[in-house]
Chains A and B, each alone.
Chain A
Amino acid sequence: MSKTVRIFVKGNEAVSRGALAAKCRCFFGYPITPQNEIPEFMSSEMPKAGGEFVQAESEVAAANMLLGAGACGVRAMTSSSSPGVSLKQEAISYMAGSEIPAVIVNMNRGGPGLGDIGPAQGDYYQSTRGGGHGDYRLLVLAPSTGQEAYDMTIQAFDLAFKYRNPVMVLGDAILGQMKEPITPWIPENIESEGGEDWRLDGANGREKRLIKSLFLEEGALAGQNQKLQAKYDAMKEMADAELFDTEDAELVVCAYGSIGRIAKSAVRKLRKEGKKVGLFRPKTLYPFPEKPLLKLAKEGKRFLTVEHNLGQMVDDVRLAIRTVADSDFFPIYPGNLPTPDDFEEPILKSLEGK
């Protein structure tokens, strides 16, 4: 009998190990709590994997190093937490505009400003609406467990190259700091490099290549935006969500990431008390899993969105179900540490339609 080997690691380490399993070969970091275990782990493990680790002078520089490595078609990553991710937005916009694949990890902390070092979900808008200047989207994956942190980091690299687009793995201080068993696995048939037809590696007799986001010729920028739009439309096929006890539920709680799993505990407890409640947990925040949500709405269910912010994902929930239903909203203020108990009362209220 083969016993699956589990290792007991922080979410930050799960992300790092996932990246190495995905053959990430360039990592650019900068210290900020609560993601420091990622650059720390990478500084020792990346060289062993034959890759490059650079501690950048700033998050600005780290993101631009990512741009450079990504333009070469090499699997590359950077990680940070909210204030640092704000600084990365410049390069992220350029990467989106230049169609450079890259993975950015954000272990969301409390804000605005310096906020705190605790968990929060205040960066939902920033992550799903582009975040920098111009009109663009990142693919955004939202793990809620250590295992998902590992799995989704691997997936992030595949998606980045599939769509030639930056991908964000959006966790929070809970995911980053919590230890949980994970079962590492190594994906098959992946290479540390992709993009044979566009990557930069020296012309060597072929036509030279240019990776850029500047389009001054008449019609060129409109064409580029149209191309990006088509790509974002195509991404919709990979929207994904976990549906838990939704089948006969009268009320569906919508929550993502760490809050999703905390809400799950509350849903389970109320189920045991005979309450008809379920959970809808988006695993992709962009594209948002609109279809399964709309289906639930059409079945006549009611909705309550809970988030660790003042109400951001609730916009996407409402957009998805707008033709047939609406969603209540319950905030956990950044700075407070939520527990399942906090969700019971608002869930019961929504269930009763109050």
Chain B
Amino acid sequence: MSRYLDSIIAGFGGQGVMLIGNLLAYAGMQEGLNVTYIPVYGPEMRGGTANCTVVLAEEEIGSPIIRRPTSLIIMNRPSLDKFQTRLQDGGINIINSSLVDMELADTKRVNCYAVPANEIADKLGNTRMANMVALGAFIEATKIMPLDAVVNSLDNVISAHYSHLIPKNAEALQAGADHIK
């Protein structure tokens, strides 16, 4: 069967869910896939909850909006409450266990991966890279593409102003992948 993956990535505004959604989609494009990325914001510009949907597919993509995705990246508790029930049976659920109690993970129905993204990012020197840790774990769990494809796309989604942080972000991606190997 041809490659297909759709994912909802959700968290607080400021956790960088839009950034990793962009990164995932961009890397997918570089891998030759069809991709869509669509952000959903709350009405506020800053500080609300945020989520985005990414679809990666070999065939032409119809809907960029997905009710019951095949995978999730959950960065905080409200996102788990909102999206876990929508995840398809046997789907992949990357949960930021630094902020979400794993007791709440529906381990019977879906494949849950506890990733203490904030702690891992902290150890690497910056909590704000928790998003990259989670994405690294996601790539490892879904095997949708090689991690290198994501690493190589960093400079296309991180603005020039922050380009000095690219090596650290690459480390965070790797640390996330290593965590669930």
Contacts and interface: CB of A to CB of B under 8 A. Distances in A.
B22 A264 contact: no
A-B pairs with lowest CB-CB distance, top 3: A265-B62, A339-B67, A264-B62
A16 interface: no
Contacts of A117: 43
Nearest to B34: A181
A179 B37 contact: yes
Given A179-B38, A181-B35, A6 B63 contact: no
B67 A179 contact: no
B65 A268 contact: no
A252 B25 CA distance: 32
Contacts of A177: 38-39
B62 A262 contact: yes
B29 interface: yes
B113 interface: no
B145 interface: no
B32 to A, nearest CB: 9
A8 interface: yes
A40 to B, nearest CB: 15
Interface residues of B, number: 21
15 contacts: A8-B156, A174-B38, A178-B64, A179-B38, A180-B37, A181-B29, A261-B63, A264-B62, A264-B63, A267-B62, A337-B40, A339-B65, A340-B63, A340-B67, A341-B67
A338 B63 CA distance: 9
B36 A179 contact: yes
Determine the main DSSP class of A at the interface with B.
helix
Given A178-B36, A179-B36, A262-B62, A8 B67 contact: no
Contact of B65 (A6, A179, A262): A262
A174 B64 contact: yes
Contacts of B68: 341
A341 B6 CA distance: 14
Interface in B45-89: 61-68
Q: Which of B26, B67, B68 has the most CB of A within 10 A?
A: B67
A343 B40 CA distance: 21
Contact of A6 (B22, B29, B38, B62): B29
B26 A8 contact: yes
A265 B63 contact: yes
Contacts of A6: 29
Interface in B7-55: 22, 25-26, 29, 34-40, 43
A179 B22 CA distance: 8
A180 B62 contact: no
Contacts of A174: 38, 64-65
A342 interface: yes
Contacts of B67: 339-342
A180 B65 contact: no
Interface string A311-354: 00000000000000000000000000111111000000000000
Nearest to A267: B62
Nearest to A180: B36
Interface in B144-173: 156
Nearest to A279: B62
B62 A340 contact: yes
Contacts of B66: 339-340
Contacts of B40: 337
Interface string B102-116: 000000000000000
B62 A261 contact: yes
Contacts of B26: 8
A262 B39 CA distance: 16
B38 A268 contact: no
Of B38, B40, B68, B156, chain A has the most CB atoms within 10 Å of the CB of B38
Contacts of A265: 62-63
Interface string A256-267: 001001111111
Contacts of A179: 22, 25, 36-38
Contacts of B64: 174, 178, 180, 258, 261-262
Contacts of B62: 261-268, 340
Contacts of B36: 178-180
A178 B29 contact: no
B63 A8 contact: no
Contacts of A262: 62-65
Contacts of B38: 174, 177-179
Contacts of A261: 61-64
Given A261-B62, A339-B67, 17 more contacts: A8-B25, A8-B26, A8-B156, A174-B38, A177-B38, A177-B39, A179-B37, A179-B38, A180-B35, A181-B35, A261-B61, A265-B62, A266-B62, A337-B40, A338-B65, A340-B63, A340-B67
A340 B67 CA distance: 8
